């Protein structure tokens, strides 16, 4: 018990002495040992890494989970080391509501059948979102948290220890300076100066050793950047996969709705059940004669002969919205933002048009185009 009390008193004395030294340095009443430039640069770089990692982590969490209540719930479960209850995404919930509404209105009705179609695709979108959340948490958010809660805490601990060693060193320097001044006035014995010099050498050794340990840890920030770089690539790849899936699902949904619309013979019923702005714009009638000019200044006579054999309906210009790779020789590959001439022929699938680009001609999907008037 006596030992503990003495140790507590000693620690309190050291803390007080360091506080006095720190305060005098801030007031300009005491000299301060400066760290070397390389170590200072490493500290600045490490502080920047920590601050920006926190901001990126926090904003990524907001992006993936905009609901603050849900984020708080996830945080609490994570701190309690408990498994978060399974919860559907917003798209999955919307899809479920649509399916339940379809059962009430009647699956055989036009509205009910369309609700089922759209609801199923909403659930697919929700499933893709769930996969994005899982992948992003595993490959991106977790490594960032591990750095902040692991490596950074170790670095901070060693930096605090380095600061204490620096304060101890400066305290010893001040004591030696006072001892020499007193010796010059014959106010102290020579052994007091020797004791102060010995304490200074010990303090300098401990400071140098701690500075080296801190430097090695700070230089490890470069490895942290490389690790976060790989995680960033994984996050971008997960996003690309998710948005590609969403685009694919929505393209399929548009085709399903187009088939639904074309299966209804009455135009008003078709528009009420499955409206399709792209198809409607095309079927509204041929454009003005000036819009029938091909993107090429000269069109081969062979194309004119083919068109004379198959009646052309509604020839017009179209802007390509997305890149498209032809799957066979009957299709035409497309590049986003280019202009092509399109038309249809009797008996052709309503999801497709005939596209022309100079001497090239082939089928193109309607959903990849914006028809121009």
The β-bridge partners of 341 are 317, 356
CATH assignment of 314-371, among 2.60.40.1180, 3.40.50.720, 2.30.30.40, 3.30.360.10 = 2.30.30.40
| Residue 141 token pair | 């958010």
What pLDDT does 280 receive? Answer: 37
3-class secondary structure for the chain?
CHHHHHHHHHHHHHHHHHHHHHHHHHCCCCCCCCCCHHHHHHHHHHHHHHHHHHHHHHHHHHHHCCCHHHHHHHHHHHHCCCCCCCCCCHHHHHHHHHHHHHHHHCCCCHHHHHHHHHHHHHHHHHHHHHHHHHHHHHHHHHHHHHHHHHHHHHHHHHHHHHHHHHHHHHHHHHHHHHHHHHHHCCCCCHHHHHHHHHHHHHHHHHHHHHHHHHHHHHHCHHHHHHHHHHHHHHHHHHHHHHHHHHHHHHHHHHHHHHHHHHCCCCHHHHHHHCCCHHHHHHHCCCCCHHHHCCCCCCCCHHHHHHHHHCCCEEEEEEEECCCECCCCCCECCECCCCEEEEEECCCCCCCEEEEEECCEEEEEEHHHEEECC
Could you tell me the residue ranges of all domains in the chain?
31-262, 314-371
Question: pTM of this prediction?
Answer: 0.63
Distance CA 211, CA 36 (A): 10
Distance of alpha carbon 351 from alpha carbon 334, whole angstroms: 16
Residue 77, both tokens: 């479960």
Residue 108 and residue 124: Cα distance in Å, rounded?
22
Query: CA 32, CA 21: separation in Å to the nearest integer?
Result: 9
CA–CA separation, 330 and 349 (whole Å)? 13
Closest CA to 347 of 313, 372, 371: 313
On whether the CB atoms of residues 322 and 336 are closer than 8 A, the answer is: yes
pLDDT at 301: 32
pLDDT at 250: 94
pLDDT tens for the 373 residues of the chain, in order: 445 666 666 667 677 788 888 788 778 778 888 899 999 999 999 999 999 999 999 999 999 888 777 666 666 666 666 666 667 788 999 999 999 999 999 988 889 999 999 999 999 999 999 999 999 999 999 999 999 999 999 999 999 999 999 999 999 988 888 888 776 666 556 678 888 889 999 999 999 999 999 999 999 999 999 999 999 999 999 999 999 999 999 999 998 888 877 665 344 443 444 444 333 333 333 333 333 333 333 333 333 334 334 455 568 899 999 888 888 888 999 998 899 999 888 888 888 899 999 889 999 999 899 888 7
Closest alpha carbon to 40 in 218, 258, 185? 218
CB 328 within 8 A of CB 369: no
Q: What is the pLDDT of residue 313?
A: 59
pLDDT at 49: 97
Pairwise CA distance, residues 117 & 109, whole Å: 12
Distance CA 365, CA 373 (A): 18
| CATH for the stretch 31-262 | 1.20.1270.60
Whether 31-262 and 314-371 share one fold: the answer is no
**Res 348: pLDDT:** 83
């Amino acid at each position: 018990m006596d030992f503990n009390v003495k140790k507590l008193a000693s620690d309190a004395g050291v803390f007080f002495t360091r506080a006095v030294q720190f305060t005098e340095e801030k007031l300009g009443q005491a000299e301060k040992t400066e760290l070397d430039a390389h170590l200072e640069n490493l500290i600045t770089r490490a502080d920047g890494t920590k601050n920006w990692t926190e901001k990126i982590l926090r904003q990524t969490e907001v992006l993936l989970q905009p609901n603050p209540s849900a984020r708080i719930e996830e945080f609490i479960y994570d701190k309690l080391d408990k498994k978060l209850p399974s919860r559907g995404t917003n798209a999955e919930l919307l899809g479920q509501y649509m399916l339940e509404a379809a059962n009430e209105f009647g699956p055989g009705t036009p509205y009910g059948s369309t609700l089922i179609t759209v609801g199923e695709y909403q659930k697919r979108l929700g499933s893709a979102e769930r996969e994005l959340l899982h992948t992003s948490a595993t490959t991106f958010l977790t490594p960032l948290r591990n750095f902040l809660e692991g490596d950074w805490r170790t670095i901070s601990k060693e930096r605090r220890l380095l600061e204490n060693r620096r304060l101890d060193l400066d305290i010893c320097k001040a004591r030696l300076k006072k001892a020499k001044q007193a010796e010059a006035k014959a106010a102290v014995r020579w052994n007091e100066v020797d004791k102060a010099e010995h304490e200074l050498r010990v303090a300098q050794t401990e400071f140098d050793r701690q500075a080296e340990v801190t430097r090695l840890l700070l230089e490890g920030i470069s490895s942290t950047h490389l690790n976060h770089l790989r995680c960033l690539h994984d996050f971008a790849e997960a996003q690309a996969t998710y948005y590609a899936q969403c685009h694919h699902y929505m393209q399929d949904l548009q085709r399903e709705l187009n088939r639904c619309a074309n299966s209804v013979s009455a135009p008003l019923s078709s528009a009420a059940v499955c409206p399709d702005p792209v198809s409607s714009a095309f079927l509204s009638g041929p454009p003005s004669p000036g819009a029938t000019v091909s993107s090429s200044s000269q069109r081969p006579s062979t194309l004119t002969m083919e068109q004379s054999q198959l009646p052309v309906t509604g020839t017009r210009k179209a802007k390509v919205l997305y890149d498209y790779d032809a799957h066979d020789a009957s299709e035409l590959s497309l590049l986003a933002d280019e202009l092509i001439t399109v038309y249809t022929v009797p008996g052709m699938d309503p999801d497709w048009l005939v596209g022309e680009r100079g001497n090239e001609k082939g089928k193109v999907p309607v959903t990849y185009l914006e028809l121009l008037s």
